[in-house]
Each structure stands twice: as C-alpha cells, then as structure tokens.
Amino acid sequence: MLDRFAAAFENGDAQALAGLLRDDAVLEMPPFLTWFAGRETVRKFFATRIITAPGLFRMVPVAANGQQAFAAYQRAEDEDHDDEGVYRADAIAVPTLTANGIARIVTFLDPRLFTTFGLPAEITAA
C-alpha cells in the first residue's frame, strides 16, 4: 500500500490515492489549522491543489515516530533551476495505515524537517 501511495503522488494520480483511502480518511497539514475529512474531499483537494500533474513530486521513504513516512520533494520551477530534474524539500507525509486503507495523512509542511531525517534540501531525478 505504501508503494502505491508514493506512486500516486509521483504519477500525479489523485484517483489512485483516493483508492487507498478509507471513506472516513482525514488529511492534516501542520502548521495550517485547516484539515479535510472524507475520501472524496481529500481526493478533491489533492487533485486541484497538490498532485495536479505527473512528475511534480519524488517521494523518499523515511521513518517518522516509528512508522513509515515519506519525504516529499517538489520539482523546482524557477530561474535558478533550468533543469526540471531538480526537486526541493517540501513536506514530510505520514500516512496511517489500517486493514481497510489509509485512515489519516499528516503532512508536515516544513522543509526544515528534512535535516532531522538526514536528507538533502534538493535531489535530482534518477
């Protein structure tokens, strides 16, 4: 399930992500107070705001608080990086798995956390 979670982000496939979520799935994004509840609400948010096209993200497996998580790197799109193969630290995503699918995704929107995991601020596409 975790491989499919990462692939959904990397492939820009919000529908595939939704297929992994429980009906009552919740998305939180600290430090923002906003959160989303329900498979379709979470899918819609990701489809319109986050995973809008293939190749925008690279997901690197990490462990956070004793569970599997992902360091999400987002493709750089600025004058400092003409090469679309550069990805910058964006967020740490921690999905909570159950027997019935993903119940919760907590996405920490703080690229400074990457140093805690010993990860670089930028990577290049392999």
The CATH number assigned to the domain holding 49 equals 3.10.450.50
The encoded tokens of residue 120 equal 């670089």
Across 89-112, average pLDDT: 97
Q: How many domains does the chain have?
A: 1
Name, in order, each residue with C-beta under 8 angstroms of 18's C-beta and a sequence gap of 6 or more: 39, 40, 42, 43
How many C-beta neighbours within 10 Å does residue 96 have?
A: 14
pTM (2 d.p.): 0.91
Domain holding 112, by residue range, is: 2-124
pLDDT digits (tens, 9 = 90+) for 50-90: 999 999 999 999 999 899 999 999 999 765 545 568 999 99
Task: Give yes or no for residue 97 having a pLDDT over 60.
Answer: yes
Burial class of residue 75, CB neighbours in 10 A (0-12, 13-18, 19+):
middle
Euclidean distance between CA atoms 37 and 25, whole angstroms: 6
